[in-house]
Amino acid sequence: MTTNAEDRRPQASCHEKSMSRECGAELSRLRILLGETTESWRTLAAEHFLAAAMAAVATRGAFHVVVPGGSTPRLAFAAVVEAGSLLDWRRVHVYFGDERVVAPDHPDSNYRMMREAFLDHVPIPAEQVYRIEGERVAEDAAALYEETLARFLGGSKETKFDLVILGLGPDGHVASLIPGCPLDSSGAWVGVGRAPMSNAAVRRVTMTPAALRRACELALWVRGEDKANVVRHALRGGGATMVPEVEPVDGRTTWILDRAAASQLTGE
Distance separating alpha carbons of residues 25 and 19, to the nearest angstrom: 14
Exposure of 156 by Cβ count < 10 A (0-12 exposed, 13-18 middle, 19+ buried)?
A: exposed
What type of residue is 16?
E
71 binds ligand 6PG per the rule CB under 6 A: yes
Q: Which of 68, 187, 191, 209 binds ligand 6PG (CB under 6 A)?
A: 68
Of 15, 50, 46, 8, nearest in space to 160 by CA: 15
Among candidates 5, 7, 26, which has minimal Cα distance to 15? 26
In the DSSP assignment, the letter for residue 197 is: T
Please tell me whether residue 175 binds ligand 6PG under the rule CB under 6 A: yes
Q: How far is the CB of 43 from ligand 6PG (least distance, A)?
A: 17
110 binds ligand 6PG (CB under 6 A): yes
- Using DSSP's 3-state secondary structure scheme, residue 109 falls into coil
Q: What part of residues 150-169 is at the interface with ligand 6PG (CB under 6 A)? A: 167-169
Q: Applying CB under 6 A, does 203 fall inside the site for ligand 6PG?
A: no
Q: Does residue 174 belong to the site contacting ligand 6PG (CB under 6 A)?
A: yes
For residues 55 and 21, is the Cβ–Cβ distance under 8 A? no
> How many chain residues are in contact with ligand 6PG, going by CB under 6 A?
15
Q: Least separation, in Å, of the C-beta of 71 and ligand 6PG?
A: 4
Nearer to ligand 6PG, 173 or 203 (CB): 173
> Which residue of 98, 133, 162, 258 would you call a contact of ligand 6PG, by CB under 6 A?
98
Name which of 24 and 70 has its Cβ closer to ligand 6PG: 70
Q: Is 199 in the site for ligand 6PG (CB under 6 A)?
A: no
Distance CA 99, CA 68 (A): 9
Instruction: For the chain, count helices (H), then strands (E).
Output: 7, 11
Q: What are phi and psi of 254, to 5 degrees?
A: -120, 120
Nearest distance from C-beta of residue 177 to ligand 6PG, angstroms: 8
Question: Which residue, 167 or 187, is less far from ligand 6PG as judged by CB?
Answer: 167
Residue 131 touches ligand 6PG, criterion: CB under 6 A = no
CA distance readout (Å), 72 to 11, 96, 113, 136, 161: 26, 15, 10, 26, 21
Sign of the CA dihedral 183, 184, 186, 191? negative
Instruction: Show the binding pattern over residues 24-63: x = contacts ligand 6PG (CB under 6 A), - = does not.
Output: ----------------------------------------
**How far apart (Å, rounded) are the C-alpha atoms in residues 218 and 221?**
10
If one asks whether residue 208 binds ligand 6PG (CB under 6 A), the answer comes out as no
Report the interface residues with ligand 6PG, using CB under 6 A.
68-72, 97-98, 110, 167-169, 173-176
